Amino acid sequence: MNQLKLGWVGLGNMGNPMVLNLLNAGYEITVFNRTREKEKSLLSAGTKSASNLAELIKNCDVVFTMLSNDAAVKEVFESSVGLLNANNQGKTIINMSTVSPETSRYLHTICKQHQVNFIDAPVSGSVKPAQDGTLVILVGASNENFELAKPLFDVLGKIAIHVGEPGIASSAKLAINYLLGLNLQGLAETVLFAEKNGVSKEDMLNIINQGACGNGITNIKTPSIINNSFPAAFALKHLVKDLRLAKEAGLDSPLIHPLYDSYVRAEKEGLGDQDVMAIISSLHNKAD
């Protein structure tokens, strides 16, 4: 059993497998989720459950948060029964949620006021890498805090890249998700253009994946495109949120505006809970 006692807040599609990986690595873990039903499978696997956030951090050395948006993360930190509502001097909180750089800097500031260590550590990768422990972890932290958390990151990911102080990792995450959006939009447009001109999507995807334009994401999304089925590995609505955050953080390049508009339209069409690759369905509908 590893000595650090861990807490985890947020048991969605990503949080659940990440907790299991830490549990399998020998860490004692206590979980808390607002929807308590989501704790059941992890409790069966050997985690403990906290009745509230204050109890969670009191009994843990390090607490992870993995939540859907800035407001949810702030509430977990700041509410009257939140992580910072008592004297937890010397504890460490690692936020792995994708939030704005401004929010990460704010969380760092309020944690400092409570003498709590804060690490900004969003991830690049979706459900399968979370299950396999092959996420790319982007870390904003002091050198000392990075070294403290590095053994935990080594369980959760294939690499942890220390990019600077808290807030910088959130900027890196928004940048890589912008590239993700461009990749998927471009892939969808290419396949639809090819189909319109007599090239089957199977042949076009083979051409892409066998050539220099193929990459990890084109290979991963190929079965979804062929089967016209888009179960969420990374929900489209979350990319809409991330692109909005990137715009708010100052991204004003020529492609961000039409890209954002395209994903917003897809969400309004009811595709928000489907995988990001469902953008191809929206573009196909638009073409019709």
Q: Which residues are catalytic?
A: 173
Helix (H) or strand (E) segment spanning residue 30: strand 28-32
For 31: left if phi > 0, alpha if psi spans -120 to 50, otherwise beta; the answer is beta
Cα–Cα distance list, 68 to 12, 73, 97 (Å): 9, 8, 7
How far is the C-alpha of 138 from the C-alpha of 121, rounded, in Å? Answer: 5
Find the angle CA(59)-CA(65)-CA(68) to the nearest 5 degrees.
Answer: 150
Whole-angstrom Cα Rg for the chain = 20
Residue 64, SS3? strand
Mutual angle of helices 101-113 and 70-78, in 10-degree steps: 0
Q: In sequence order, what are the beta bridge partners of 118?
A: 93
CB 180 within 8 A of CB 239: yes
Q: In sequence order, what are the beta bridge partners of 93?
A: 63, 118
- Give phi and psi for 26, each to the nearest 5: 100, 10
